[in-house]
């Protein structure tokens, strides 16, 4: 397999990771990060605490203290952006704690709004005990909260690429430095010229020379047209 040297800052794929949490109706969620928040792997997504009657008046210092106690404070585990939240609950929304009720009501409205003009509109996120999470039935008066975090997945050594729509290859090394031709054009990647001939495929050469000619033609045409 032929190896190449590639500059990876333009070879990024966005993928979304999912985190799932089972929460009982009598628990409260404190300090839930809003959608669009940029998170690091060790950032706390939210804190699950026992029922608090006056949770609305908790200040940041109290929330911080709660997060240091024996409560559940799950971490993001990924570096990325919180894309959205999703919830599935088994039971009556009126039986939830104030914070869970607020979250579920908001997400119910969102899913109803997003599906009202579709073939299968959904009124809310309520499910039965037949709904399963990691192979287990969701118990009555519990819910599943899903957090979707979108991350940037960069190409690296060992990843596969295709050059000229035909030449399959593997990234052999990655450089952070920038390289330029004698004419000052930035080099995006290095590919062995001998490898093209060994595979009896000349399309990369034709594509490369054609692109240079078209770029030059565009430059001349713009200069002639605009003076």
Six-digit token string for 32: 């839930």
Output the pLDDT for position 53: 47
Output the pLDDT for position 124: 96
Integer Rg of the chain from CA: 27
Output the pLDDT for position 118: 92
Cβ contacts of 111 within 8 Å, gap of 6 or more = 122, 124, 125
Output the pLDDT for position 57: 58
Cβ contacts of 134 within 8 Å, gap of 6 or more = 20
Output the pLDDT for position 8: 53
How far apart CA 181 and CA 21 sit, in angstroms, is 52
Output the pLDDT for position 3: 46
Q: pTM of the prediction?
A: 0.69
Q: How far is CA 21 from CA 43, 73, 115, 144, in A?
A: 16, 11, 24, 6
Whether 45 contacts 33, CB under 8 Å: yes
Collapsed DSSP state (helix, strand, coil) of residue 77? coil
Output the pLDDT for position 62: 58
Output the pLDDT for position 201: 75
Q: What are the pLDDT digits (tens) for 41-60?
A: 999 999 888 765 445 555 66
Which segments in the chain show pLDDT lower than 50? Answer: 1-3, 53-54, 70
Q: What are the pLDDT digits (tens) for 12-50?
A: 889 999 999 999 999 999 889 999 999 999 999 998 887
Question: What CATH number was assigned to the domain covering residues 8-154?
Answer: 2.40.50
Output the pLDDT for position 70: 44
Where along the chain do its domains lie? 8-154
Cβ contacts of 74 within 8 Å, gap of 6 or more = 19, 21, 44, 45, 46
Cβ contacts of 91 within 8 Å, gap of 6 or more = 25, 126, 140, 141, 142, 143
Nearest to 74 by CA among 15, 6, 120, 21: 21
């Amino acid at each position: 397999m032929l190896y190449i040297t590639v500059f990876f800052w333009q070879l990024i794929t966005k993928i979304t990771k999912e985190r799932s949490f089972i929460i009982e109706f009598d628990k409260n969620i404190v300090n839930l990060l809003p959608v669009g928040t940029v998170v690091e792997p060790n950032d706390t997504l939210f804190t699950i605490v026992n029922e608090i009657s006056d949770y609305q008046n908790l200040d940041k210092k109290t929330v911080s203290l709660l997060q240091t106690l024996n409560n559940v404070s799950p971490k993001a585990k990924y570096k990325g952006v919180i894309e959205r939240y999703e919830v599935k609950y088994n039971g009556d929304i009126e039986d939830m704690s104030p914070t869970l009720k607020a979250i579920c009501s908001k997400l119910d409205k969102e899913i109803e709004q997003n599906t009202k003009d579709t073939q299968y509109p959904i009124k809310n996120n309520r499910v039965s005990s037949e709904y399963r999470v990691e192979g287990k039935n969701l118990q009555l008066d519990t819910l599943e909260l899903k957090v979707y975090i979108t991350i940037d997945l960069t190409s690296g050594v060992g990843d596969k690429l295709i050059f000229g729509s035909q030449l399959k290859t593997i990234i052999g090394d990655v450089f952070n430095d920038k390289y330029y031709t004698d004419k000052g054009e930035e080099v995006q990647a290095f590919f062995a010229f001998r490898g093209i001939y060994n595979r009896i495929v000349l399309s990369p050469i034709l594509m490369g020379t054609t692109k240079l000619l078209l770029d030059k033609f565009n430059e001349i045409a713009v200069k002639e047209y605009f003076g």
